[in-house]
Amino acid sequence: MSDIVVTLPDGSELSVPEGACVEDVAYEIGPGLGSDTVAGVVDGELVDKAAPVHDDARIEIVTDQSEEYLRVLRHSAAHVFAQALQRVYPDAKLAIGPPTEEGFYYDIAGVDIDEDDFPAIEAEMADIVEADYDIRRLEVSRAEALAEYEDNEYKTEILDEEAAGEDPVSVYEQDDWRDLCKGPHVESTGQIGAFELLSISSVYWRGDEENDQLTRVYGTAFESESELEEFLNMREEAKERDHRKIAREMDLFSIPTITGPGLPLYHPAGKTILSELEEYVNDLNDDAGYGEVETPHVFRTELWEESGHYENYQDDMFLFDVNDEEYGLKPMNCPGHATIFDQGSWSYRDLPVRYAEHGKVYRKEQRGELSGLSRTWAFTIDDGHLFVRPDQIEAEVRQVMDGIEQVLDTFDLDVSVDLATRPEKSVGSDEVWEQAESQLESVLESSALEWGIEPGDGAFYGPKIDFSFEDALGRSWDGPTVQLDFNMPERFDLTYTGEDNAEHRPVMIHRALYGSYERFFMVLIEHFGGDFPFWLAPEQVRILPISDDNLGYAHRVKNELSAFRVEVEDRDMTIGRKIRAAHDDRVPYMVVVGGDEEEAQTISVRDRFENERNDVDPSAFVEHLRGEVDKKTVKPDFVTDHDD
């Protein structure tokens, strides 16, 4: 039997016999690692330790010390939930139960339950965990599996689609219960140290409104009770930071039923923040040499056919007929930008050509997936498209990445980076995709960034570098992206005249610094808990006269601060109540003026953290505020910074 070669996380190569599995690779590295192996990651995919490896595969061994271990444990917790559910409700029919970022869920049918039923199910789960049943992977014939699940249309569909052509298929068994599953799982139910069922919702099978409506139960699991308690405390904090809650308190946006689902309305305070975010990107675009363009919200579908969106994206598009012609609301801005480029005549000296647009797009997400600003039907992308020569790719991608890092650093967001490769549904030849992925990998390897691979997560027209960021609660969010596209220039027959006077094909780079304004706005609301940096805050300063006798001086101070968003609190309240109201409204700075301040022509300044500074010259305060705006300071620091 010949050997194959696999690559380990440190870049070293290891020869193993053909037909080896993940666990075999671990034992080749060392017997201790082999005995500790729980699962593996093969080419970026989490798999069972019995999964076979192939030549040139990238292999990572998962033990109980690995980051991926918690995902494996939570997958097993989903099985414990399903077993407990069927003990309490034997008629419950199981659909799917994967691990998630925060825990797990299981979609079920055939039983009507709500959160009041959780204690009984959790008690049964506790018995299963205490029993410490071995979790065994078994292989059964396809015929046996189809017979076992003949009364479960969901499992049968999985066998016919995800497991099509597989024979045998894998099931996982614990005690007298088992489930169709690819794994991986922990060794036994007792390894699930702590768990809790969290919530319940209704979903459609496969996310399709034409399919059955199922009940989805969410839960979480950890190795220890202390980790679970920490998670639950953070979850309560997340509820307090929920962007929908804060939006109501600060009057930022609304999504009323009458407008339609996923179609947000921005109120003056919310629009103020969005305008500041837009101005920031405009400044970055100007510095980077972008020309601002604008494209309409709707195009004939002929454009989407040319770009490839119609073939690959039409199920997510809003399509309609006008005078026997089909039109569609744009799901992306790139075809419009490609068409603008196509209207010109370009020399190699003209490239790169860079276009930018704050472009509104529309995507028909399933209603059950819509949630505040995190997922909407209408959203705006701070879109940019670059048309470059092949020899300019590395420099332009680097410039885009520098811009993204600058944005995330401005908002004090920790970043992680991944290369997303070709998805199953895509356009273009293997050669083009290999070239595009190789170019992006080269840029990443020459950068100082740590990065990983997201197999199959690229756009249908090209691979991309994805930036995700972590908020104040440690949650990870998808954000900016830079994508390399050799396909759309080919589809639109875009050309430039080279130094040899022949026509050449440009390369198209797609980029967004925020991702979408809606998603980024949502993250900022929750990251800052509504306490926006001074330069973003819809109301930046509130002037609090101690009495009506000081109203005139309060308005004179307001005039001195006219470069900023300033209000005078003139309601009939005590100064204590005025301070509390400004604090509740999340105003970065409060300026208190009374008789002493008026006589001395000074002000007293309080920040939202209840720090105070007296006898302040208004002009010094103005100068400091200009600095906070220019430097994009995250926290108001006038009171704590005494260098003014």
Q: Is 624 annotated as a binding residue?
A: no
In the prediction, which pLDDT does 210 show? 86
Look-up of token digits 């494209």 = 295
What pLDDT is attached to residue 278?
Answer: 96
- Look at residue 197 and give its three-state secondary structure: strand
Whose CA is closest to 80, among 100, 99, 101? 99
Residues of the chain whose pLDDT is less than 70? 1, 368, 641-644
Residue 573 contacts residue 547 (beta carbons within 8 Å):
no
Residues facing residue 511 across a β-bridge = 384, 482
**Residues 599-633: pLDDT tens digits?**
999 999 999 988 999 999 999 999 999 999 999 99
d(C-alpha 73, C-alpha 192), whole Å? 7
Which pLDDT value is given to residue 427? 75
Is 504 known as a binding-site position?
no
Domains by residue range for the chain, with CATH: 3-62 (3.10.20.30), 69-240 (3.30.980.10), 253-296+332-528 (3.30.930.10), 541-631 (3.40.50.800)
Q: How many CB atoms are located within 10 Å of the residue 528 CB? A: 21
Q: Is 510 annotated as a binding residue?
A: yes
- b/e map 270-301, b = 16+ CB within 10 Å: bebbbebbbebbeebbeebebeebebeeebeb
- E strand spans, 175-274: 177-180, 194-204, 213-222, 253-254, 265-266
Handedness of CA 398, 403, 408, 412 (dihedral sign): positive
Handedness of CA 466, 470, 476, 480 (dihedral sign): negative
145-146-149-152 Cα dihedral, nearest 10 degrees: 140
- Residue 1 is predicted with a pLDDT of 58
The per-residue pLDDT for 371 is: 81
Cβ atoms 469, 476 nearer than 8 A: yes
Instruction: Name the DSSP letter for residue 188.
Output: B
State residue 424's pLDDT score.
81
User: CA-CA distances (angstroms) from residue 372 to 125, 200, 235, 478, 536?
Assistant: 33, 18, 18, 16, 20
pTM over 0.85: no
CA distance 437 to 458: 10
Q: What is the pLDDT of residue 431?
A: 84
CA distance 383 to 334: 8
Q: Which amino acid is at 386?
A: L
Residue 517 near residue 566, CB atoms below 8 Å: no
Both tokens assigned to 185: 């799982």
User: Which one-letter amino acid corresponds to residue 11?
Assistant: G
- The Cα 394–Cα 413 span in angstroms is 25
Q: Specify whether the CB–CB gap between 621 and 638 falls below 8 A.
A: yes
Phi-psi map region of 44: left, alpha, beta (phi>0 left; psi -120 to 50 alpha): left
pLDDT of residue 3: 87
Tell me, what's the pLDDT at 644? 44
- In the chain, the amino acid numbered 476 is S
